[in-house]
Chain A
């Protein structure tokens, strides 16, 4: 059985001090810088005025009545439903009573909505700019080297990821180039930032991108007509078939204790 002799590439030990270490330090420092930049740029959450609060919470109230209707007795549920439906349909909770039935304003013209979008833009910029700069820096100075060998074997598929910038066909995928080290740093520094900055830091762009995915606050986002939401909720309330959790609770209790 002829074993393929392990590839050995003589490397200058100085590679560690002049490439691996600087890239890591730069990545950590950028993360910290990004965290503080985000903290500084973050606009404080906008205060809602009384009417907006009323509009949103009244809708939320209707939703919770609908979801938890089973804790009420039939008569109290019917009373609530009638009151809420009348108020919803007449638009009593709306922020601007006059704007009923009119198409929603263009979100681009709404200064409040613009502010929210600016905030998102700022966060995006804080992520994109440093990444572009650092990647350019690494490509310009350190491309084309093999800087380290991973201590575990890997399959051939990893070659394109780990040896980016080193176009050698037969090299073992365990050898890593500097640009792959950079990617590893992007994905793997989260625990370091957690340790340095606390767990709710803004240093890691991966976490930020995760947050981006679900459109939070879409319920009251710009461009949604609250009147339509109220009407839809009134309809939802109207079709509930009421049952109460109190129906037959004694029997359940007696049986449950005996069993």
Chain B
């Protein structure tokens, strides 16, 4: 159980998060409630470990997720006593706990006011700025959140997390070109992130299939780039399920549609669609690999257990569509 403290609890499954949250009382008990910074203490008690504080931070998140607000509060007190209430990260966690404990919209508004007060004192407090954006978004004010994010990214354009959140907000509003632009910024900052490549492929596919894209001729360009993005993500990560899933979906759509028969050469810098035989080969490859992943994940073979169940189920469904089509 010990190493999972160091993972971000958002990535944990609900069951794992609950298990983690239930260790909170034991952790709180086993570590001293006040940390002395005197030299004597550190000589006697051994050096202070930074993992300990990451552990508390993750415990707070796990506890909030599982509804154990009291334990979260106690963990937060530990962090406050160590780093002080005016530490930026602690301020953000404090706000998070307050948000989670708010019962109605009025209390959330109060938290929002508090964030704005902190930001008016120190406008480079990025953790608080991000909390404010997240709160705006969860209160349903997505366009406010987007403009606040744009402002944040104006003075800190090297923040991959913020770019990807912006992409997500734009996507939720149906602004595909903007979402794609923001996701490309993430890639510029993390060029070998295969999940971002695959995500960008998904965005391209969504943009291609959205209504209206066929009319203005960008359909084919988006589809071509989607194929390439998924291929790149598989190239970077051999057994990446989402990459194969997307590749299969895109090539299937292309093969069944009219595009592949009449490949137009685009000249204004877009990618050209691969020819039909390549698409067929890619489709074959993706189908075979997906089938293998589904089979092995279902059998819980060693080294194949890491896939999320929902992903595997979706892949199985996609494969099932194929076989039913053949039977008919």
Contacts and interface: CB of A to CB of B under 8 A. Distances in A.
B158 interface: yes
A61 B157 contact: yes
Contact of A76 (B123, B181, B235): B181
Interface in B267-298: 268-271, 274, 278, 281-282, 285
Interface centre among B188, B197, B231, B235, by most chain A C-beta atoms within 10 angstroms, is B188
Contact of B188 (A32, A53, A68, A73): A68
Interface residues of B, number: 37
Interface stretch (B19-27, B42-50, B67-75, B316-324): B42-50
B90 interface: no
B155 A246 contact: no
B228 interface: yes
A245 B232 CA distance: 8
A54 B123 CA distance: 12
B127 interface: no
A76 B191 CA distance: 15
Contact of B231 (A47, A70, A253): A253
Contacts of A245: 232
Main secondary structure of the interface of A (DSSP, over half): helix
B189 interface: yes
Nearest to A65: B188
A60 B158 contact: yes
Nearest to A257: B285
A254 interface: yes
Nearest to B159: A57
B155 A251 contact: no
Contacts of A71: 184, 187-188, 191, 197
Interface string A40-61: 0000000111110110011011
B252 to A, nearest CB: 15
Contacts of A199: 47
Contacts of B181: 76
A57 B157 contact: yes
Interface residues of A, number: 41
B229 interface: yes
B154 interface: yes
B42 A249 contact: no
A47 B184 CA distance: 30
Given A50-B123, A76-B181, A196 B156 contact: no
A240 to B, nearest CB: 13
Contacts, number: 96
B208 to A, nearest CB: 14
A61 B184 CA distance: 13
Interface in B138-167: 154-158
B269 A74 contact: yes
A250 B278 contact: yes
Interface string B186-199: 01110100000100
B234 interface: yes
A7 to B, nearest CB: 42
A30 interface: no
A27 interface: no
A75 interface: yes
Contacts of B228: 246, 249-250
B187 A68 contact: yes
A192 to B, nearest CB: 12
A76 B231 CA distance: 19
B99 interface: no
Interface in B180-225: 181, 184, 187-189, 191, 197, 225
A48 B126 CA distance: 12
A60 B231 CA distance: 29
Contacts of B154: 54
Contact of A73 (B189, B191, B227, B270): B270
A70 B282 contact: no
A51 B156 CA distance: 10
A217 interface: no
Contacts of A252: 231, 235
B81 interface: no
A250 B158 CA distance: 30
B314 to A, nearest CB: 22
A254 B281 CA distance: 8
B278 A53 contact: no
Interface string A209-230: 0000000000000000000000
Interface in A71-107: 71-76, 78, 80
Among A58, A196, A249, the one with the most B-chain Cβ atoms within 10 Å of its Cβ is: A249
A57 B126 CA distance: 13
A64 B158 contact: yes
A32, A54, A69 — which one has the most chain B CB atoms within 10 A of its CB? A54
Contact of A253 (B124, B197, B282): B282
Contacts of A246: 225, 228-229, 231-232, 271
9 contacts: A49-B124, A57-B158, A60-B158, A76-B184, A198-B48, A246-B231, A246-B271, A249-B231, A250-B228
Q: Which 10 A-B pairs have the closest CB atoms?
A: A198-B47, A75-B269, A54-B155, A246-B228, A68-B191, A61-B157, A74-B269, A249-B231, A71-B187, A253-B231
Given A68-B188, A254-B281, 14 more contacts: A53-B155, A54-B154, A57-B157, A58-B157, A61-B158, A64-B189, A70-B191, A71-B187, A74-B270, A80-B188, A197-B42, A249-B232, A249-B235, A254-B285
